[in-house]
């Protein structure tokens, strides 16, 4: 199990490093724009079309202008793409790509069960995700110092990134489920990416059209709302619990599917 875990970390090191730098730069550059847009931030939100406000889950009222600005930034599709691209790529290729390349037989020839193999892969995905999120926090800290952006509550920043982490866990669980039943890495990646985009679009529709807002509950993105977190100054245990349940339920199903399947 340790061998699989360390081998996965080594294989992911380049993508982890590149996306960590991307997360750092995003947080850093986003704060660089605060002086230009911060003063008119709330006015901009009020005049935004409902569709755009729904896209970033922007609220018209924030207790702190700086934290409101960051809440919107951390719900930006660009930021979500940076984080989730690592999660999806790592998860979707965990089993399917190993089967496609034939390396699954070498890995399973060691004294490790299929459950241990999958859990080691999943643990490596989560650690890589946490590493990327730490760089996002680092970018925020560096940006606040260099661009002199005050009134940043790092307790809330940590809670936002914790919410992102559990969002990533749920997406990762879904992607592992897809990977466990396929034998082609490219197909697993495409399907996992498609499901993620579909869920994001469902949440967008739910926020844009009040008449169908009930459909938002089936999307994992419904349970990631940094604006609400900033306004309430607390993280929703219901949101975190839902994301954890989805992630580990899918991981459990993927474990069963992987154990039962015949590898060609």
Distance, CA of 24 to CA of 135 (rounded, Å)? 5
**Chain centroid, CA 73 distance in Å:** 14
Domain, as residue range, for 201: 2-260
Place of tokens 């990134």: 161
pLDDT in tens, the chain (264 residues): 677 788 788 888 899 999 999 999 999 999 988 877 766 766 766 666 565 665 666 666 677 778 888 988 899 899 999 999 999 999 888 888 888 887 776 766 677 788 888 899 999 999 999 999 999 999 999 999 999 888 899 999 999 999 999 999 999 999 999 999 888 888 999 999 999 999 999 988 888 877 888 888 999 999 998 988 988 888 899 999 999 999 999 999 999 998 887 776
Global pTM reads 0.91
Query: Based on the structure, what is the number of domains in the chain?
Result: 1
Instruction: Reduce the DSSP state of residue 89 to 3 states and report it.
Output: helix
What pLDDT does 29 receive?
A: 93
Distance, CA of 171 to CA of 196 (rounded, Å)? 7
What pLDDT does 135 receive?
A: 97
Distance, CA of 22 to CA of 139 (rounded, Å)? 10
Distance, CA of 250 to CA of 175 (rounded, Å)? 9
Distance, CA of 210 to CA of 54 (rounded, Å)? 11
Phi, psi of 224 (to 5 degrees): -130, 100
What pLDDT does 211 receive?
A: 82
């Amino acid at each position: 199990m340790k061998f699989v875990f360390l081998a996965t970390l080594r294989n992911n090191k380049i993508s982890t490093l590149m996306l960590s730098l991307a997360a750092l730069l995003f947080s850093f550059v986003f704060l660089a724009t605060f002086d230009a847009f911060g003063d008119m931030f709330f006015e901009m939100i009020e005049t935004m079309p409902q569709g755009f406000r729904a896209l970033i889950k922007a609220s018209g009222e924030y207790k702190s202008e700086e934290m409101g600005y960051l809440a919107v930034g951390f719900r930006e599709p660009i930021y979500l793409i940076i984080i989730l691209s690592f999660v999806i790529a790592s998860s979707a290729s965990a089993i399917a790509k190993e089967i496609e390349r034939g390396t699954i037989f070498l890995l399973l020839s060691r004294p490790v069960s299929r459950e241990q193999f999958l859990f080691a892969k999943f643990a490596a995905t989560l650690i890589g995700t946490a590493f990327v999120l730490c760089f996002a926090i680092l970018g925020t800290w560096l940006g606040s110092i260099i661009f002199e952006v005050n009134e940043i509550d790092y307790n809330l920043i940590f809670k936002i990134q914790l919410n992102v982490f559990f969002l990533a866990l749920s997406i990762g669980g879904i992607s592992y489920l897809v990977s466990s039943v396929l034998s082609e890495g490219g197909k697993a990646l495409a399907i996992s990416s498609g499901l993620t985009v579909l869920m994001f679009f469902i949440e967008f529709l739910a926020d844009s059209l009040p008449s169908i807002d009930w459909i938002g509950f089936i999307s994992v993105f419904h349970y990631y709302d940094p604006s609400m977190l900033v306004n309430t100054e607390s993280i929703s245990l219901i949101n975190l619990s839902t994301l954890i349940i989805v992630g580990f339920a899918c991981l459990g199903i993927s474990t069963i599917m992987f154990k039962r399947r015949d590898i060609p």
